[in-house]
Amino acid sequence: MRCCFVRHGETPWNAERRLQGHQDIPLNALGLAQAGAAARYLAQRHATTPFAAVLSSDLLRARQTADTIAASLDLTVFDVPGLRERHYGAFEGKTPAEAAQHDAAGYAALAARADLAAQPGQAEALAAMVDRIEACLGQLAKQYTDQSVILVTHGGVLDVLYRRAMGRPLTGPRDAPIPNAGLNWLDLGVAGEGLQWTMRVWGETGHLADATLDEIL
């Protein structure tokens, strides 16, 4: 499966540096413009190397981005809940400073990513999130073997994909940018009980006219 993973466009909470998690925040005006720019670029690619489907997290910010892209490609969007962002528990809606004030030790544990089983602030365990993502992508890789697809998702999901594709540990700080409306090109295949990852291009933003925000965590 040849994949273009798209991070959703900017939201008001992105602009305020608030953790979104499963909160259903819409795109802001810049985010809608970013989605439109991604759509125009991907429509050009679609004209020469067609995409088979547009698949999206069912959260509003991703779905709005996916709807804009799909309309330009004359495709239907399919909701894929497995592509949702990590649930950040009690830290959702908070800036890093507010999260640290609410629960300094818990937020430090969330940001440090040192323990895959930890659930600071009742957040989704990182191990559970990884299992969810990989199970979802394994099914899609079987369904769309040898086809090109667009998948619209979130910063936390993309961080996992980058680490897997580059052979990085799942624990520890992030070392790659994850810009709003950035395009990330990977090939995925099923290898035994797991996935085979091939990185093509990461964090492509040449289609965007304005600066784009990186992920928080």
State yes or no: pLDDT of 213 exceeds 90.
no
- Span 44-62, pLDDT tens digits: 999 999 999 999 999 999 9
What are the extents of the domains in the chain? 2-88+125-204
Active site residues per annotation: 8, 85
- Span 114-161, pLDDT tens digits: 999 999 999 999 999 999 999 999 999 999 999 999 999 999 999 999
**CATH fold for the domain made of 2-88+125-204:** Rossmann fold (3.40.50)
The set of residues, in sequence order, having a beta carbon less than 8 Å from that of 173 and lying 6+ positions away, is 112, 113
The tokens for 174 are 């992030």
Which residues, listed in sequence order, are joined to residue 186 by a DSSP beta bridge?
3, 199
Report the distance separating Cα 96 and Cα 30, nearest Å.
Answer: 22
